[in-house]
Homo-oligomer: A and B are copies of this chain.
Amino acid sequence: MDNQLISFTEENYLKIIYLLTERHNGNEVSTNQLAEHTQTKAASVSDMLRKLAEKNYINYRKYQGVTLTAAGEQIALGVIRKHRLWEVFLVEKLGFGWDEIHDIAEQLEHIDSKELTKRLDNFLGNPQFDPHGDPIPDAKGKMPSVSYLKLSEIPLNQSVVMMGVSVHSPAFLQHLDKQQITLGCDLKVLEISDFDKSYSILLDGKNTIFVSNEVAKNLLVSIEE
């Protein structure tokens, strides 16, 4: 519709490069990492990197990994914007669980229509965050600023609000559902076991729940003002 210059596949690579670069605090992304996340082989990734570099979407020095150029980042942010808006739609309007939406949003993120994205954004009330707490870039690609901390870095007895998750696997999200841990809930770490580093947590000031260290590391929270 709006643009035939970039393929579905190229969009995917740029999105993944963006997300992995972010995860690595701006450091280059390697060929093997991309192969893993694109579900292809390293050889295929190399080919695609050559192509994306030719189109000036990435900075690529052979054997040294890649980062996005400004042009590539804009495309990635557009895809991520659509992905996260559709996730809001799926949860808020269609009643999907946060563990069920990723694969559908992976498809919807490639629908090409500026007007659709704009109207969808409005229909949803211009949300700033998706159902996993991830920030939604605006139409110009600007991300809402976030400063989440891992629950595992919070001192004992400090009340915090649950803001997001750093893992999106259905298994993890379903585990949180079972424990009634949801975005916006109140958490206070009462104790960390010497034995297995598991956490005793006061949930919403009412119930005490127990979570593993693995869970605590992947809960993103912020301190109440």
**Are B116 and A104 in touch, CB under 8 angstroms?**
yes
A103 to B2, CA, bound (A): 11
In the assembled complex, A100 has its CB within 8 A of some CB on chain B:
yes
Per-residue contact bits, chain A 105-135, to B (CB 8 Å; 1 contact, 0 not) = 0011001110110011001000000000000
A106 to B: closest C-beta gap in Å: 9
- Taking a contact as CB atoms closer than 8 A, the residue among B95, B103, B111, B123 that contacts A107 in the complex is B111
**Cβ of A93: which chain B residues have Cβ within 8 Å of it?**
123
**Are B112 and A100 in contact, with the CB atoms below 8 A?**
no
Q: For the complex, count residues of A whose C-beta is within 8 A of B.
A: 19
- Report whether A112 and B123 are in contact in the complex, using a CB–CB cutoff of 8 Å: no
Expressed in whole angstroms, the minimum distance between the Cβ of A97 and any Cβ of chain B is: 11
Which residues of chain B are within 8 angstroms of A115 by Cβ–Cβ distance? 96, 100
Decide if B112 touches A107 in the complex (CB within 8 Å).
yes
Interchain nearest-CB distance for A100 vs B (Å): 7
- A94 beta carbon closer than 8 Å to chain B: yes
- Chain B residues with CB under 8 A of A111: 104, 107-108
**8 interchain residue pairs of minimum CB distance:** A94-B119, A107-B111, A104-B113, A104-B116, A94-B123, A1-B103, A93-B123, A108-B111
